[in-house]
A and B are shown apart, each in its own frame.
Chain A
């Protein structure tokens, strides 16, 4: 599976996904519940220092992930400040950045497949029947298999449109794309039925 996972390994790649998920939950809850405006910023500093310990390039990766959220954090802070709630602004912005950076640290070091295995294990322990877990895994695999196929189809449609019309295709593609997707789904259902008995 592709994804946010960094191809260059770090020590954190080797930590089990389940442990990382639990730590993330505890960390985010702790930071949000702290009740002290600086908590988020201390949390953020911890995450970034942790990233730095794994390698300066990795800290850089996390910082780049924070670009978009930093803009939002600045907006929130600015808005609260204007509203006369400086402390709240500091706290909200810090918490946001701390939680996002911690979550990105997990996503950057954990393969989606491994994360899915952990979640599947938890669902099994929660006694979710096997057939539902089987369907979830199957649906995920199908989605991943067909994303490149569908966007490839969008490219083909764009060319077909270009060959016959001087205008840009743009969102006009969505109708044939949606119809093609449904047809493809029904063909896949046939193939699935031929291959296995899905409860």
Chain B
């Protein structure tokens, strides 16, 4: 019990700390932050349930007013914008990331983590984000998809890094792969 609790809590802290790392800016000018990689990592390293719980915990702290989102944003206000779908998608995405990775014999191999991160961390998060934008901005799904597309290349890079980190993680702590 204690182990689940502390892992959930400390990964929420890791997601917050990753928001403080410097941004990378792609040639397209779209900035990508390490924070959304934290979401994928929560799914690949902690597994579906604990990963999703740690993302929910992180979001809850943001809602309480702590400035933990990348760029120092926090407070209930962030849940009213068109990015609401993405925030919800983070929690679902972490869950699906873990779920997909767990289909493989070794859930922490590069391929398993990459599949999880792409399906959960990109497809699911982006779909939630698109629906969110369509609802909040009152535009069609096609239009909202247009808004979401520029972020995909950055997300693919992040999924690749996530998979590499997860595989390195598994080498360093092999027993973790069994005990999700």
Contacts and interface: CB of A to CB of B under 8 A. Distances in A.
A contacts B directly (C-beta below 8 A): yes
A99 B67 contact: no
Contacts of A108: 75
Given A3-B64, A174-B34, A182-B176, A107 B75 contact: yes
Contacts of A1: 66
A177 B137 contact: no
B169 A174 contact: no
B80 A103 contact: yes
Contacts of A174: 18, 21, 34, 37, 41, 161, 165
Contact residues on B (Cβ < 8 Å of other chain), bracket: 35 or more
A140 B20 CA distance: 19
Given A143-B16, A177-B17, A182 B165 contact: no
Interface of A is mostly: helix
Interface string B141-168: 0010000000000000000010011001
Contacts of B16: 143, 147, 150
Contact of B165 (A80, A96, A138, A178): A178
A103 B77 contact: yes
Nearest to B168: A175
A80 B60 CA distance: 32
B45 interface: yes
Nearest to A145: B13
B62 to A, nearest CB: 10
A57 B19 CA distance: 29
A100 interface: yes
A186 B67 contact: no
Contact of B81 (A24, A83, A100): A100
Contact of A140 (B60, B74, B81, B168): B60
A179 B172 contact: yes
15 contacts: A2-B67, A96-B80, A100-B80, A101-B77, A107-B75, A112-B61, A116-B64, A135-B5, A139-B5, A140-B61, A147-B68, A175-B169, A181-B14, A182-B45, A198-B5
